[in-house]
Amino acid sequence: MATAVLDIELTNLPSEVAGLDHYSCALILIRLKGRPVGKAFVPVTDGRISPEGLRVSLQKAEGWPLWECWLRDFLKYEVHTPVQPLPSSTVAVCTRDRHEDLQRCLEALVRLPDNGQELLIVDNCPTTDETFHLVQNYRDIRYIREDRPGLNVARNRALREARGDIVAFCDDDAIPDSEWLHNLLRNFSDPLVLCVTGLTMPLELETEAQEWFERYSPFGRGFRHIVFTRSSINPLAAGKVGSGTNMAFRKNILELVGPFDEALDCGTPTRSGGDTEMFSRILSLGYHIVYDPEALNRHRHRKTWEDLRHTLYGYGVGVYAFWTRRFLIEHEFRVLRLALNWFFRFQLRSLAKSLLRRPGYTPLDLLLAELRGCFAGPRAYLRSRRLIQSNICHHE
């Protein structure tokens, strides 16, 4: 059975949670005075969660983020120095032929508190005019068509076109929380902070594929506010700082760090990796990235098993394509050691656990899909760069 996705406020616990007849368990986002502080998987029995079951599950889920949040509230202490006033901003959604998802995203974006932000849609190499016509239904949303394919191409176009000092990116299949944008923007008080990422939770877990995605490759990076620097994290492992579905950059990142690598991510042979490569470059050049779990959005995971395998294959391609870039362009030879360590310490062990059907094993076809992607990554990056060069020469 499916997993319900719920929000629970600790200061206002319900006496009972009912109406869950089609669910066997629930994933609960735990909040303290609105702040996300943890999550818990809670069993559902006869369509309800008993008060005792809820209490026990929440107690087990309690950890330092909860007590840290409580202590901060008690002492009236902020872990960051909020920007006053908030910087001007553009919310950019890069999309391609996902009209149902995009409409849901736009409905949430137009309901955000109005801080003067610009809303920008970059329609990347569309096959129809449906996105254009959809956007016309919303006032004050700027539409831009970018005919060169590639998610990073669209991201670069958004950065060039944006009118705000900060550009916040939300995927078209994600829905921002009401304070999402505000909580991203407040972290840019330090000029060394070029990027802020946020917490992404699942929008729904209605299928087995969506449940496994959340188990195996969740977008969330925990519930602690963290400042990442070159000394605190290996830039080659920059995927730990966040994900492209929930991130914001200073607009002048184009001058300070350079554009997104257009040979990476969706719409190219590399399939993913563009966000992680940018995170890595920011850290390598001595700038900082902040992860703020209060900048919350929710992502609709892929629903079918075939789509899940395809996604994990793409993640494998993207990671090794990103590492190939670091090896060839930045001459980062530590990539070889990191790749071998990842294979022997994690991937090989996961494969053995799956083959032996040990408790908590991951389905073998998912692991093999990701591994095939890893082997395909270096060649995919080289092919992608050749395609870009040939397109440049063709236009010249």
Tell me the CA distances in angstroms from 238 to 16, 99, 291, 319, 368, one per residue in order: 41, 31, 12, 10, 23
Per-residue pLDDT band at 11 (split at 50, 70, 90): confident
Distance CA 375, CA 393 (A): 29
Type of residue numbered 316: G
User: Phi, psi at residue 111, to the nearest 5°?
Assistant: -90, -5
CA angle 233, 193, 177 (to 5 degrees): 95
Type of residue numbered 162: A
The answer to whether 140 and 127 are in contact (CB under 8 A) is no
Instruction: Flag whether pLDDT at 228 surpasses 70.
Output: yes
Distance CA 36, CA 23 (A): 23
Asked if residue 14 has a cis previous peptide bond (ω within 30° of 0), the answer is no
For residue 369, give both structure tokens: 């899909």
CA trace torsion 380, 381, 385, 390 (10° rounding) = 0
Query: What average pLDDT is seen over the chain?
Result: 93
Res 394: pLDDT = 47
The ranges assigned to domains in the chain are 2-75, 89-305, 312-395
Type of residue numbered 129: D
Tell which CATH architecture fits domain 89-305: Alpha-Beta Complex (3.90)
Tell me the CA distances in angstroms from 377 to 64, 208, 235, 329, one per residue in order: 38, 27, 19, 15
Res 395: pLDDT = 44
Instruction: Flag whether pLDDT at 60 surpasses 90.
Output: no
Question: What are the tens digits of pLDDT across the range 295-305?
Answer: 999 999 999 99
Per-residue pLDDT band at 53 (split at 50, 70, 90): confident
What are the residues facing 201 on neighbouring strands? 298
Res 327: pLDDT = 95
Distance CA 62, CA 159 (A): 39
Res 15: pLDDT = 83
Helix (H, G, I), strand (E, B) or coil at 24: strand
Q: Which of 135, 125, 129 is nearest to 105 (CA)?
A: 135
Type of residue numbered 229: T
| Tokens 């990347």 found at | 124
Instruction: Flag whether pLDDT at 291 surpasses 50.
Output: yes
Instruction: Flag whether pLDDT at 160 surpasses 90.
Output: yes
Instruction: Flag whether pLDDT at 396 surpasses 50.
Output: no
Per-residue pLDDT band at 76 (split at 50, 70, 90): low
| Mean pLDDT, rounded, for 99-103 | 97
Instruction: Flag whether pLDDT at 16 surpasses 90.
Output: no
Q: Which of 268, 281, 365 is nearest to 314 (CA)?
A: 268
Question: What are the tens digits of pLDDT across the range 314-327?
Answer: 999 999 999 999 99
Q: Give one word for 172, left, alpha or beta, with left for phi > 0 and alpha for psi -120 to 50.
A: alpha
Question: What are the tens digits of pLDDT across the range 210-226?
Answer: 999 999 999 999 999 99
Type of residue numbered 232: S
Per-residue pLDDT band at 68 (split at 50, 70, 90): confident
Question: What are the tens digits of pLDDT across the range 82-100?
Answer: 667 899 999 999 999 999 9
Instruction: Flag whether pLDDT at 384 surpasses 70.
Output: yes
The burial of 324, by beta-carbon neighbours within 10 Å (0-12 exposed, 13-18 middle, 19 or more buried), is given as buried
Per-residue pLDDT band at 74 (split at 50, 70, 90): low
For residue 355, give both structure tokens: 């083959």
For residue 168, give both structure tokens: 């916040």
End-to-end CA distance of the chain: 56
Helix (H, G, I), strand (E, B) or coil at 221: coil
